[in-house]
Chain A
């Protein structure tokens, strides 16, 4: 048997410290999932949100009363009334049905603007942060102009200018969320851009787009994503606020903000009933915030 001696044996054997580590590492998202599943608070919140989402999506299949049909004789029935578990509103419509159907619009107005703003803001921010120079100045100073207005004022102003309606609310909320997401995206991109692995990728001769796709996006996505998740609850509250002011959803459409507005007159008759839509907004945004906190720590790769 011939034995060829490899003269290019490494001078130094691998150091033992790393030998305990597994030979094959799990993928990044598997790791995030595993860490998230060990976080009880995040898991409870995720469970509640899933339940809400399922109820809202499958609302027509649930044995619910018609959310639009009222009855003059059964107005403002308290919680626990037979046939109306959560009572009825000021026009005698079933509260449970209206809360669940209302969740459809409220969640949509909470999620869609953030998703749109996430896509547009990430694009603008990564562009500004990676290219830098005058392009950065143009994008970021424009964004700064929007920061001069408080977000609720900006949403009201844009909605007021565009007119009431669901689509206009979506547009105005998207515009409100683009600047903060752009700013976060720009700052994380600029810091990743200065790291040496981006330099190393550049001197491999890769095109700028490839460098961004392979080396920048993956490393800026999670902070932007976590930040955007935390905006969802803000978006929901702003949407409810717009509806409350009559700039968003129009009656008789059920929507939590609008319901809060119309039930306001009943606050002395049945305060618990009148506060129900508010409690839903509170619970949902609390869950979203806690979940985004959990995501933030689960995405920290160094742990």
Chain B
């Protein structure tokens, strides 16, 4: 298992062991990366579904396990899961599914039912027609709307969306994304939005965090990351995006090979085994997270950005050419 030292401040997370991030109230943080890079584990850590081996999770200034019980955490943080089918109990009607959480909090059955109907209406499913249905009678997009309604029923302030739209087809995906945006404004929510789809992340996020093998390689405002691609992995990830422009197609895969085994990650910079700029220093020392172009909110962990790392390209605050 990956270990990370979490340290969240006012709706924020800061880690010391490579996974270091904060989420400010009201923003959307997008997390991207290949399969198996630890996105989902991070999500499950954030809602307390996985135990944290070392470090802290601080929500609104309260430290989990010290000032904050799991139950308190779940009052403020909820999650929308990836698999819309597996995340709904096939034996419960969707009304029962949505009302379950509030009932567990002591809301009267009638009131919970009323709330379920209201939220169903809000996510675009007419309660009169849908409340009594079972999950297998709904389409994928409808089920994901139910999932969203269920998390809203807990009146959270932070919602973790783990690949929430990845399994939907493009037109439905767009509808659900728009719904999420509306709900965010309406309920004053904060999102952590996890996806492997860079376009989707760009569309919904204020800031973006790129993960590789359980570590944060780059984090910053969407526009800055999109433009600079300071870390070679970020550059490769963006270059792997299919282009709409036929003249701009990549013929050569920007990343060779599969990611290394996360149980036994490479020494030094975890990306050095696949990085075209790798030098001996990359295999030896772990890169520090440094500000990109002196911007306070844009960090990347690469020796080439660190003037004292000893990497030949590091002198003079170099910037990478995108996707070499």
A11–B182 touching, CB < 8 Å:
yes
The tally of CB-CB contacts under 8 A between chains A and B is 113
**Contact assessment for B87 and A203 in the assembled complex, using a CB-CB cutoff below 8 Å:** no
A203-222 interface with B by 8 A CB criterion: 203-207, 210, 214-215, 218-219
Tell me which of A21-29, A128-136, A265-273, A278-286 binds B. Answer: A21-29
B154 and A11 contact, CB distance less than 8 A: no
Task: From B77-85, B285-293, B316-324, give the one contacting chain A.
Answer: B77-85
How far, in whole Å, are A24 and B79 apart by their CA atoms in the complex? 28
> CB of B139 within 8 A of chain A?
yes
**Residue interface bits A1-14, CB-to-B below 8 A is 1, else 0:** 00000001011111
User: Which of A57-65, A191-199, A226-234, A244-252 faces chain B?
Assistant: A191-199
Whether A14 lies near B126 (C-beta < 8 A) is: yes
In contact, B104 and A204 (Cβ under 8 angstroms): yes
The answer to whether A18 touches B139, judged by C-beta atoms less than 8 angstroms apart, is: yes
Please report the C-alpha to C-alpha distance between residue A196 and residue B49 in the assembled complex, in whole angstroms.
11
Q: List chain B residues, Cβ under 8 A from A14.
A: 124-126, 129-130, 142
- Please classify the interface of chain A as helix (H, G, I), strand (E, B), loop, or mixed, using the class held by over half of its residues: loop
Stretch touching chain A among B20-28, B88-96, B194-202, B253-261: B88-96
Would you call A19 an interface residue if the criterion is a C-beta within 8 Å of the partner chain's C-beta atoms? yes
Distance, CA A72 to CA B21, complexed state (A): 94
Enumerate chain A residues within 8 angstroms of B77, measured Cβ to Cβ.
203
Docked CA distance A17–B87 (Å): 21
Q: Is the Cβ of B49 less than 8 Å from the Cβ of A18?
A: no
* Cβ-based interface call for A202 (8 A): yes
Nearest-neighbor residue (CB-CB) of A302 within chain B: B136
Docked Cα-Cα span, A23 to B87, in Å, equals 22
Partner of A218, one of B91, B93, B142: B91
Cα of A26 to Cα of B113 in the assembled complex, Å: 19
Check A8 against B186 for contact (C-beta < 8 Å): yes
Q: What B residues does A215 contact at CB under 8 A?
A: 89, 92
Query: When A and B form their complex, which 4 residue pairs have the shortest distance between CB atoms, in order from nearest?
Result: A10-B124, A204-B101, A196-B87, A196-B81
- List chain A positions with a Cβ less than 8 A from chain B: 8, 10-15, 17-19, 21, 23-25, 28, 195-197, 199-207, 210, 214-215, 218-219, 301-302
27 pairs from A and B in contact (CB 8 Å cutoff): A11-B124, A11-B175, A11-B179, A12-B175, A12-B178, A14-B125, A14-B142, A15-B139, A18-B138, A18-B139, A21-B133, A23-B128, A23-B132, A25-B137, A196-B83, A197-B89, A199-B87, A200-B79, A200-B81, A201-B100, A205-B70, A205-B75, A206-B101, A210-B104, A214-B92, A214-B100, A218-B89
